[in-house]
Structure 1
Amino acid sequence: MKKLKILVIEDDLIEVMKLKRAVDKLALDITLLDAKNGEEALDLLGNHQNLPDLIFLDLNMPKISGLEFLAIVKKDDVLRYLPTVILTTSNNRKDVLECYKMGVAGYILKPLKYDEYVDKIHKALLYWSENELIKI
């Protein structure tokens, strides 16, 4: 598996810690960056330097929601190519449809059981480590 750099955009510190713990448990060669909200993430991505290979994005956040973040990113000539995977608890069909309409690369529901969560994260990371990612 090739090394991945992932930006996690999540306002819930416990969820960020859970993802970091899952990655540690899987012993994968991954660099995790995190932003507390879409505004902070846009600041990180703003200069188009040192971009992540993949973004895990929560939908429900303060300041700039996940959907608002997506709308901004998809208008940017460089950032639009970053694969963005929604990682959320929302199984609202309207959210799923809107996200795919906006060009997300995937939509993962966070399961309640930790082992199921780790399994989903593992599968997603394996999948993206095998994809040909655009290096800008």
Structure 2
Amino acid sequence: MTDELMSSPESSSVIVSLARLYLENKMFDQAIELCLSSLESSPESEELYLILYEAYMGKGETGKAREIVKKGLSHIPGSERLKKLVEEKKEEVPAPPPPPPEEKVEEVPEKVAVEEVPPEKVEVEEGD
């Protein structure tokens, strides 16, 4: 189906629109599947690479997102938008991992000897 759609310029915009709709609805897997299958017949579609990048980032798959940008640049070396994504990634310095949580050790109070009070010395208030 996507081969037929991608064969005409008008229908390629339909695929891009559908993929964007998937992104907006956080349907990342569907957007990825649609874009990957569409790229087989249209590997020069810059927009599909950009959508794929966003979908992979939405899933937290930054490695795949970077790879798809590189693949896009191999097919479209003059793409300023893809180059910009590569530059942004170079500028980002990963934050150092947080330090391991310190174990809190509760201090156990020392044992204190309890003095036994003989019953005759215990004052008891008698109620009415």
Q: Normalised by the size of structure 2, how large is the TM-score?
A: 0.31
Which has more radius of gyration? 2
Higher strand share: 1
Higher helix share: 2
